[in-house]
Structure 1
């Protein structure tokens, strides 16, 4: 048997180059995903005592925490949200 064609052609070099880039891209992607999974902070459920239950109450609490509304306005609006006794904003 004659071994006269043992060097890769141009297509062989191209295939090896693409294969090497794909190999390292997979290794790096796996490493990044593994790092992100391990570095993610652990989520723990907080007890629901006193936590706002509805989206409106949560938004109101966020506005109060940011300082957009004061304490009196927060409690007044929270009372309206929790105990809707027929109070409406429009005058009928």
Structure 2
């Protein structure tokens, strides 16, 4: 069984791994151009999502509700990420 501390460590390692992908890609190509602010925003979104899912796993008892809430949190992450990346909704967040 996974303990709480192992899950938190896993969340931190997953965020670090995901942020290392664009960092490494920037070393090999000019197609990826992330600045410090991009890494801060991405790290905040990823860490916030992971911690919110952890909170749901700790507090919600029914398995179905846990799954549903975590799916909603992940969908919110993907929608926010897509809006920031390409502006699918045309909001001021994306610079539209």
**Normalising by the residue count of structure 1, what TM-score does the alignment of the two structures yield?**
0.29
For CA contacts below 8 A with separation 6 or more, give which structure has more relative contact order.
2
| Larger Rg, first or second structure (1 or 2) | 1
**Normalising by the residue count of structure 2, what TM-score does the alignment of the two structures yield?**
0.28
